[in-house]
Amino acid sequence: MAANIKYIEQLLDKYWEGETSLTEEQQLKTFFSQANIPEHLQAYQALFQYLKHSQQQQLTDTDFEADLLKQQPAKIRYLSSTTHILRALTSVAACLLVVFGLYYYQSTLFNTTQPTTSMVDTYQNPDEAYAKTQQVLLLMSQKLNKGKQPLQHLEKFNEVKKVLNSSPN
């Protein structure tokens, strides 16, 4: 009996791996249909009894397929030809949009042409341009110096701060 149980345990391992033959499965079904099964194998008894019982059942209803078809929804919705055409046109439009987008991106990214506006000298005479530049720089210098005058009060503040820091407490 112990050798038989070892064999059944090996068959169970093969069964769970999906490697048993039909005769080996039949041996398992026969073994588990017995009354005296070891305690550690009783959990499998209900499964193999069900498999043996379901194998013996036959469909007696000859109109099984017709009954099954009656349970299906009566109306199956097919897509109309206009829906197919609209889907196709939408797909084509999306592809064209992607192609034109990539073309625009490529043309702006790799644009090597010169800009349409070009630098033009405003003065024909270089001496005149030099004099105007000096005049603009002088004006700018005056404005910066004018903004610097309120900061001279900070110079007095820094002197007082130095005196306070240097005096011993």
- Kindly state the tokens that stand for 75: 């109306």
**Rounded to 5, what percent of the chain is helix, strand, coil?**
75, 0, 25
Side-chain-facing half-sphere of 154: CA atoms under 13 Å? 4
Q: Cα separation of 158 and 88, whole Å?
A: 79
Neighbours of 96 (CB within 10 A): 10
Q: What is the DSSP letter of 115?
A: P
Question: 107: pLDDT confidence band, cut at 50, 70 and 90?
Answer: confident
* 153 pLDDT more than 80: no
Backbone angles phi, psi at 103, to 5 degrees: -65, -45
Per-residue pLDDT reduced to its tens digit, 113-136: 655 566 677 888 889 999 999 999
Quickly list DSSP for 49-92. Answer: HHHHHHHH-----TTHHHHHHHHS-S-PPPPPHHHHHHHHHHHH
User: pTM, whole model, 2 decimals?
Assistant: 0.35
Contact 24, 9 (CB under 8 A): no
| pLDDT for the residue numbered 44 | 83
Q: Buried b vs exposed e over 124-162: b needs ≥16 C-beta within 10 Å?
A: eeeeeeeeeeeeeeeeeeeeeeeeeeeeeeeeeeeeeee
